[in-house]
Chain A
């Protein structure tokens, strides 16, 4: 293995952190879901790296599964977001709380 496992772990960690920051900072439900996806992918990369490191095929298999599950997750999430948008006219996470922004649908973005 050319790249040491530690580096892969670090890459996964950094990616995970980035995803986390994304979920925390973006005021948009879709971006939050994207951030979550990034975190999942970071985990997948770490799995792959670990699988390589351990010379097991399992790691990569798990990564594949993660991709599939993540897809399902995104579809559930997006479906909810769409419903929210239909109902409130916004995807701002701040505005879905207790229907605060319902009267001003033009503020979405």
Chain B
């Protein structure tokens, strides 16, 4: 076997980490819908318990030699069993801490951010639902359980994006997110079915350890299908356009779900099944390619967007693309490490954006700048720290993780990936600091500062505290790289050497600084035109601004092909063919009826004729027969 059973105390801790938020969700939705304060309290305590459990687990199993797995059978149908359980290894412990930690911080932040919202209790209910689903997802020992919670985090994402349901765009964005991820999930499900029916196992450890005994074609097929789910969840090309739209949700939701944790679930899954994916070169190449395309495409989109949250959303897609590239290139620890650091600084960025949006009541970065967003000193400082980390500047956490990724890419089979990665580094720095400069150094500002910051004073203090905590994490996280790598790779995952050739170490920071400089030249200088190099060429700007026309393609696919094409065809078939046949049958029956009825009005002698004809005719036929 590849695992040992989980000790009872750890098992309880793991269960508690998952179940407390579920209980909070149930209690809030059933009893506390009218009591917002109590709802927030319940939700926060539950996630705090989760966090404590997660940290205890991490501390207890810091030096884990073998994955721990325990399952009980939840449901059985013939030879097919659905077990539920927990799998504890470095990855799940790390993710558990990230998820519960960020969730805790974001919920803390939300107390102030969401204050006064009519759906306050509902918000915390959904947040608890998400916390339950996400913690259970990272603990899942088999793909089915993972899939179930995978769907549930999708559900909570749907609910939270459409949280302000009276905004039509919000509910549409929620729908879009759900349907697009569902499209990926369907592929995931198919892949899972292949593994179950033909592969015979869906246990993650079994798959990772026995993938080589399965046929190559099957591994490739199922890996690619599962990757479909990953692409959907992590908003990779071509299923990427839901994520920018998902920014319709409240900013903390974007911070928690759509940057730090939920969208990272795709990368997590890839990491979970890393040895399995490694068996198929084709699948790994596809990972690399998709990550590459998504990373660059979304970076270009971020270059021209004016919406502060959208920029971070594109950036999220781009960074997820980096992670997937890293994993595709074999840099398991690099990808996961980037996931970890990214969770911290991206949450920070979103929460800062939330503060700005809340204060200035606009999403447009230029307007925020003009409204005097820079006067919110702490916020802007934290945002700058986050942007520096995102750009990969020493000593912020992003530097370390990006370095590892670049090293992994450099070790990959083709230089294309590495060069693309470098371009990505440059673009990342460019668009991050474009935003920072626009807000920090606006050409002109209004006389008055941003409008009164809503919420009571202590709430704002809590929000600021959260920002500071995240900023500190961003600052120090990079120095834990070694220990995290030990945690992750201590269990038989053979990560290739992460220390790449010398130039790599220098080239990418230089490029990042170059990006910052370019951004300063275009946006930061006193008399700069405040228009980016991409924005100068209007077709390119339009291409980037329209998200490479991906949404148009989907609109065309759904609206024209599906809705007005196939579906309308079926509808016409329903009305014109099936109904027509029915009506023809019914009509001919009634017509026959009318004819028969008319026949009975005939003259008596005609009727007699019929009588005689039938009797004698039939008799003759019978005699002849």
Contacts and interface: CB of A to CB of B under 8 A. Distances in A.
B603 A20 contact: no
Contact of A23 (B601, B603, B608): B608
A97 B603 CA distance: 7
B76 interface: no
A50 to B, nearest CB: 19
Nearest to A93: B604
Interface string B96-115: 00000000000000000000
A24 B604 CA distance: 9
Interface residues of B, number: 7
A32 B604 CA distance: 10
Q: Specify the main secondary structure of chain A where it touches its partner.
A: helix
A98 B609 contact: no
Interface in A58-109: 93-94, 96-98
Nearest to B602: A97
B479 interface: no
B609 A24 contact: yes
Interface residues of A, number: 11
A97 B598 CA distance: 13
A20 B612 contact: yes
B603 A98 contact: no
B505 to A, nearest CB: 109
Nearest to B606: A24
Contacts of B604: 32, 93, 96-97
Contacts of A24: 605, 608-609, 612
A20 B611 CA distance: 11
A95 to B, nearest CB: 9
A93 B609 contact: no
A23 to B, nearest CB: 6
Contacts of B609: 24
Nearest to B613: A24
A23 B603 CA distance: 12
Nearest to A94: B603
Contacts of B608: 23-24
A93 B605 CA distance: 8
Contacts of B612: 20, 24
Interface string A7-31: 0000000000000100111010000
17 contacts: A20-B612, A23-B605, A23-B608, A24-B605, A24-B608, A24-B609, A24-B612, A25-B605, A32-B604, A32-B605, A93-B603, A94-B603, A96-B604, A97-B601, A97-B603, A97-B604, A98-B601
Nearest 8 Cβ contacts at the A-B interface = A93-B604, A94-B603, A24-B609, A24-B605, A20-B612, A93-B605, A23-B608, A97-B603
